[in-house]
Amino acid sequence: MSMLARRKPEAEASPRVLRSLQATCHARGLGALAERIADLDGFIQDDLMQIESVLREIKTPDDVVGRSAQHLLSRGGKRLRPLCVGLASRLGEGGFNASARELAVAVELIHNATLLHDDVVDLGDRRRGHETARVVFGNAASIYSGDWLLIEALRRVHTADVPGVLLRLLSTIDEMIAAEALQLARRDELVADRDVYFRVIEGKTASLFRWATYAGARAGLLGEEECECVGRYGENLGLAFQMIDDALDLKGDVSVVGKDLLADVREGKVTYPLLVMLEAEPSVATAIEQMAGSGTRPEEGSSADEGSSADLETARRDILAALERTKAVEVTMALASDYAQRACQNLEALPPSLARSALEAVSEALVVRDR
Amino acid sequence: MSMLARRKPEAEASPRVLRSLQATCHARGLGALAERIADLDGFIQDDLMQIESVLREIKTPDDVVGRSAQHLLSRGGKRLRPLCVGLASRLGEGGFNASARELAVAVELIHNATLLHDDVVDLGDRRRGHETARVVFGNAASIYSGDWLLIEALRRVHTADVPGVLLRLLSTIDEMIAAEALQLARRDELVADRDVYFRVIEGKTASLFRWATYAGARAGLLGEEECECVGRYGENLGLAFQMIDDALDLKGDVSVVGKDLLADVREGKVTYPLLVMLEAEPSVATAIEQMAGSGTRPEEGSSADEGSSADLETARRDILAALERTKAVEVTMALASDYAQRACQNLEALPPSLARSALEAVSEALVVRDR
């Protein structure tokens, strides 16, 4: 952290994804990887600053829809998807040109659009440390601001005019919607189904990472076949990223773990650690259902009384013990590392380059992050 | 009606917009216009059948999102926007080619997408004589199926590959969202504001009609300047169409009028007849607010008790009397006719043709329709 404190003010504006990855590597004694990330910072910082500045200057409408979109956009976020576009574009001779910049901005807009719609569907109250747009501006504004960001993103992709990239984005959004539909269909079901789990995270997360890296490479004028490889890198990176997210949700302190676990279960999200635990110890489902059932909101009636608070504490402890015994979090982190490695293997067909090393470093650092 | 009964079964599949317009003209003794519509039927029927058949064959996903989209799409609707695309394409040498057909299908998909999102926002329960998709499949499915239809529409417009048409559609959707935002901001306000009224119907309705006619003309290879004229025709037609819709909502029997009026007010929709009435007799606002206030749903508490049912009946009669005195419905129909005429004037720069006559006939017939 002292290193960060010594930075000059203007450097503070540097996108947080790199600083965060670097700090993680330092904290874990991964000095060499931290060095590589530091190099990466120099290599890509200008590109990221450009993306950030375009994002900041987006003219949202002067109405409740615009304010709702701005509410989420201005909170930042990891900007990991734009980073993927930027680095992928640097693999080719075209580099980080105006088209790549537009595509990087677009992928962040798409990501934010899906968050705005998801929060309405999941009745999400908090995001990025603040109240969600739907809480502040209402569900209607949240829906329309998601629509607005989607349209703004598509306009930029159209203007970027990179062959094949717009049609692929439309298919990607279809995949994202199909994954949402699958998740809706499984809502409130506590079933350990690997096939469903992978279809959901493939559609919801990995498909947009695949598009981001493919589109970036394409904008950077890489050949079609190489672009496909870079797209597969993105897909595997996205899978790894989602699994780590799932695992980190369960690594906090006991009270937080309980809350996140229940929120996921209630939304029909059997995350990978949960899947591992349920496969190994199916009986833990009873404890999970007990806790999930107790989570009905007060105004929905007090049938939850049946589970006394002592019973709930027992259920919570049973779950945590099962998580511990089955090493569900560690198993998840290990599988995420596997996918991160596969991501790097997808780049082996490309000649060595600074951009390729950077993408490899991102993939390695992502699976050791702690937030 | 007897004329319709004599039609052969396969002709029954003919899109209802023409049959409905024709029946209206007959019923009103507008024999000449009915004849022109009959010619029009022969002229455009094949095109409309093609559009209908593509719409029927759209492969919606086999999940709750697909079923939600199909639920609305398969109910039909007037198909007036596709008709506009089809006729506009026939103005040019290109005629109703594959591109025009895709654009016609796309405009209907966009229209349906907005309905799916609007029903979630307005908590609409019924549409096209059936329960809305959000009632049958839930709000989440309704939101995502709107997203799906939007993406499917954009894919078709992209594939149609008509210069300038995709970017214009994205801007049109922006206009539609801005109009929704404006309506949201005015929700629950009973203010007679002409500027707001026109901005809302311009954005929500006229902009998509403008795009439909512009895009059709462009696909039919009309020159850029002529396409702009045809676009203005569409815009004025859309304004006329919306006003007639507003007027027809108030022409039913007394109980229906009361209900629709209140539904509109509650959603912040000061329609044109309401605007006319409020401008002429501002005091009627009290009666309207009284009835609107009584419409809170039972579970929201019984503060509505203050208005007894006798008071409400008085308020309803006051409103209907004011509608009568101010001739609000007739004034609205007259202004709609004005806009329909302006629409025809926008076509004067074009050489006479069957397609031009057909567009003129549509415009004339639209403002005498009774449903």
CB A327 within 8 A of CB A6: no
Asked if A174 and B140 come within 8 Å (Cβ–Cβ), the reply is no
Residue B94 has pLDDT above 50, yes or no: yes
Give strand pairing partners of B337: none
Within 8 A of B147 by CB-CB distance, chain A residues are 117, 147, 150, 173, 177
Asked if A181 and B63 come within 8 Å (Cβ–Cβ), the reply is yes
Within 8 A of B153 by CB-CB distance, chain A residues are none
Residues in chain B, total = 371
Domain extent for A24: 2-263+325-366
Identify the residue among A121, A142, A170, A200 best suited for mutation to test binding to B, counting B beta carbons within 10 A and taking the highest: A170
Residue B347 has pLDDT above 90, yes or no: yes
* CB neighbour list of residue B36: distance below 8 Å, 6 or more residues apart: B357, B358, B361
Residue B4 has pLDDT above 50, yes or no: no
Asked if A178 and B63 come within 8 Å (Cβ–Cβ), the reply is yes
Local confidence band at A270 (pLDDT 50, 70, 90 cut-offs): confident
Q: Does A155 touch chain B (CB under 8 A)?
A: yes
Q: How far apart are CA A237 and CA A259, in angstroms?
A: 27
Q: For residue B13, give how far its alpha carbon lies from the nearest alpha carbon of chain A (Å).
A: 31
Asked if B184 and A141 come within 8 Å (Cβ–Cβ), the reply is yes
Residue A297 lies in a domain: no
Q: Which of A14-28, B32-46, B74-88, B353-367 has the lowest mean pLDDT?
A: A14-28
Asked if B182 and A143 come within 8 Å (Cβ–Cβ), the reply is no
Residue A44 confidence (pLDDT): 86
Q: Does B31 touch chain A (CB under 8 A)?
A: no
Asked if A170 and B180 come within 8 Å (Cβ–Cβ), the reply is no
CATH code: domain of residue A19: 1.10.600.10
Q: Give me the long-range contacts of B346-355 (CB less than 8 A, separation at least 24).
A: B346/B229, B346/B230, B346/B232, B346/B233, B346/B236, B347/B229, B347/B230, B347/B233, B349/B226, B349/B229, B350/B91, B350/B226, B350/B229, B350/B230, B353/B90, B353/B91, B354/B39, B354/B43, B354/B90, B355/B43, B355/B87, B355/B88, B355/B90, B355/B91
Residue B313 confidence (pLDDT): 81
Residue B166 has pLDDT above 90, yes or no: yes
Within 8 A of A173 by CB-CB distance, chain B residues are 147, 151
Residue A252 has pLDDT above 80, yes or no: no
- Is the C-alpha dihedral spanning B223, B228, B234, B236 positive or negative? negative
- Is the C-alpha dihedral spanning B28, B30, B31, B35 positive or negative? negative
CB A96 within 8 A of CB A160: no
CB pairs under 8 A between A and B: 106
Nearest to B108 by CA among B92, B129, B86, B124: B86
Of these ranges, B245-249, B335-339, B360-364, the one predicted with the greatest mean pLDDT is: B335-339
Max intra-chain CA distance, chain A: 66
Residue A265 confidence (pLDDT): 62
Q: How far apart are CA A323 and CA A338, in angstroms?
A: 21
Place of tokens 């020159």: B223
Asked if A120 and B143 come within 8 Å (Cβ–Cβ), the reply is yes
Our CA angle for A123, A128, A130, nearest 5°, is 70
Query: Tokens representing B29?
Result: 């003794």
Asked if A64 and B148 come within 8 Å (Cβ–Cβ), the reply is no
The residue with greater pLDDT, A290 or A235, is A235
Residue A291 lies in a domain: no
Q: For residue A68, give how far its alpha carbon lies from the nearest alpha carbon of chain B (Å).
A: 11
Say how many Å lie between the first and final Cα of chain A, rounded: 15
Give percent of chain B with pLDDT exceeding 90. 54
The residue with greater pLDDT, A370 or B277, is B277
Local confidence band at B178 (pLDDT 50, 70, 90 cut-offs): very high
Residue B294 confidence (pLDDT): 60
* Cα dist from B188 to B180, B258, B267, B288, B292, whole Å: 14, 17, 6, 11, 9
- What is the H or E stretch that residue A306 is in? none
Give strand pairing partners of A130: A127
Query: Tokens representing A365?
Result: 């650092």
Asked if B180 and A155 come within 8 Å (Cβ–Cβ), the reply is no
Q: Does A123 touch chain B (CB under 8 A)?
A: no
Residue B351 lies in a domain: yes
Cβ atoms within 10 Å, residue B27: 12
Asked if B181 and A121 come within 8 Å (Cβ–Cβ), the reply is no
Q: How far apart are CA B167 and CA A157, in angstroms?
A: 11
Task: Kindly write down the DSSP assignment for every residue of A171-224, as one continuous string.
Answer: HHHHHHHHHHHHHHHTTT-----HHHHHHHHIIIIIHHHHHHHHHHHHHTT--H
Q: Which of A74-88, A202-216, B302-316 has the lowest mean pLDDT?
A: B302-316
Residue B349 lies in a domain: yes
Q: How far apart are CA B220 and CA A355, in angstroms?
A: 47
Residues B244-253, mean pLDDT to the nearest whole number: 78
Give percent of chain A with pLDDT exceeding 70. 86
Query: Tokens representing A198?
Result: 């992978």
Q: For residue B369, give how far its alpha carbon lies from the nearest alpha carbon of chain A (Å).
A: 32
Q: For residue A73, give how far its alpha carbon lies from the nearest alpha carbon of chain B (Å).
A: 18
Residue B210 confidence (pLDDT): 98
pLDDT in tens, A291-307: 776 654 443 444 444 45
CB B216 within 8 A of CB B104: yes
Q: How far apart are CA A203 and CA B66, in angstroms?
A: 16
Residue A302 confidence (pLDDT): 44
Residue B284 lies in a domain: no
The residue with greater pLDDT, A14 or B194, is B194
CB B87 within 8 A of CB B101: no
Q: Does B58 touch chain A (CB under 8 A)?
A: no
Q: How far apart are CA A49 and CA A39, in angstroms?
A: 16
Residues A110-139, mean pLDDT to the nearest whole number: 84
CA-atom Rg of chain B in angstroms: 21
Q: Tell how strand A130-131 and strand B130-131 pair up.
A: unpaired
Within 8 A of A180 by CB-CB distance, chain B residues are 65, 140, 144
Asked if A185 and B63 come within 8 Å (Cβ–Cβ), the reply is yes
- Is the C-alpha dihedral spanning B91, B95, B97, B99 positive or negative? negative
Q: Does A166 touch chain B (CB under 8 A)?
A: yes
CB B221 within 8 A of CB B94: yes
Quick one: A5 exposed, middle or buried, by C-beta within 10 A (0-12, 13-18, 19+)? Answer: exposed
Number of domains in chain A: 1
State the number of CA atoms in the 13 A half-sphere of A89 facing the CB.
27
Residue B30 confidence (pLDDT): 76
Asked if A181 and B150 come within 8 Å (Cβ–Cβ), the reply is no
Residues A101-130, mean pLDDT to the nearest whole number: 88
Query: What is the predicted ipTM?
Result: 0.85
Residue B32 confidence (pLDDT): 77
Within 8 A of B155 by CB-CB distance, chain A residues are 167, 170
Local confidence band at B5 (pLDDT 50, 70, 90 cut-offs): very low
Residue A11 has pLDDT above 60, yes or no: no
Residue B118 has pLDDT above 90, yes or no: no
Residue B344 lies in a domain: yes
The residue with greater pLDDT, A116 or B129, is A116
The SS3 assignment for A95 reads coil
Local confidence band at A7 (pLDDT 50, 70, 90 cut-offs): very low
Q: Which of A11-25, A178-192, B203-217 has the lowest mean pLDDT?
A: A11-25
Asked if A120 and B138 come within 8 Å (Cβ–Cβ), the reply is no
Residue A27 confidence (pLDDT): 76
Quick one: A159 exposed, middle or buried, by C-beta within 10 A (0-12, 13-18, 19+)? Answer: middle
Residue A170 lies in a domain: yes
| Helix, strand, coil in percent for chain B, rounding step 5 | 75, 0, 25
Compare CB distances from B140 to A159, A167, A184 and report the shortest one's residue.
Answer: A184
Quick one: B48 exposed, middle or buried, by C-beta within 10 A (0-12, 13-18, 19+)? Answer: buried
Q: How far apart are CA B6 and CA B17, in angstroms?
A: 18
Residue B10 confidence (pLDDT): 37
Residue B317 lies in a domain: no
Cβ atoms within 10 Å, residue A253: 7
CB A228 within 8 A of CB A351: no
Within 8 A of B174 by CB-CB distance, chain A residues are 61, 148, 151
Local confidence band at A118 (pLDDT 50, 70, 90 cut-offs): confident
Residue B145 confidence (pLDDT): 95
Quick one: B265 exposed, middle or buried, by C-beta within 10 A (0-12, 13-18, 19+)? Answer: buried
Dihedral in degrees, nearest 10, Cα atoms B75, B80, B85, B91: 140
CB B142 within 8 A of CB B68: yes
Identify the residue among B149, B152, B180, B187 best suited for mutation to test binding to A, counting A beta carbons within 10 A and taking the highest: B180
Q: Which of A2-6, A225-229, A336-340, A344-348 has the lowest mean pLDDT?
A: A2-6
The residue with greater pLDDT, A87 or A317, is A87
Residue B6 has pLDDT above 50, yes or no: no
Asked if A64 and B167 come within 8 Å (Cβ–Cβ), the reply is no
Residues B263-273, mean pLDDT to the nearest whole number: 74
The SS3 assignment for B129 reads coil
Local confidence band at A123 (pLDDT 50, 70, 90 cut-offs): confident
Backbone angles phi, psi at A220, to 5 degrees: -80, 10
Within 8 A of B170 by CB-CB distance, chain A residues are 151, 154-155, 158
Residue B163 has pLDDT above 50, yes or no: yes
Residue B287 confidence (pLDDT): 84
Residue B162 has pLDDT above 60, yes or no: yes
Of these ranges, A192-201, B23-32, B102-111, the one predicted with the greatest mean pLDDT is: B102-111
Which chain B residue's Cα is nearest to A172? B151
Residues A351-370, mean pLDDT to the nearest whole number: 89
Place of tokens 């349209």: A151
Dihedral in degrees, nearest 10, Cα atoms A172, A175, A177, A181: -170
Q: Does B184 touch chain A (CB under 8 A)?
A: yes
Q: Where are the alpha helices (DSSP H) in A297-327?
A: 309-326
Q: Does B158 touch chain A (CB under 8 A)?
A: yes
* Cα dist from A260 to A53, A180, A265, A295, whole Å: 34, 19, 9, 12
State the number of CA atoms in the 13 A half-sphere of A347 facing the CB.
29
CB B33 within 8 A of CB B68: no
Residue B18 confidence (pLDDT): 72
**DSSP E strands: which ranges in chain A?**
126-127, 130-131
Nearest to B69 by CA among B154, B134, B165: B134
The residue with greater pLDDT, A299 or B280, is B280
Residues A239-253, mean pLDDT to the nearest whole number: 84
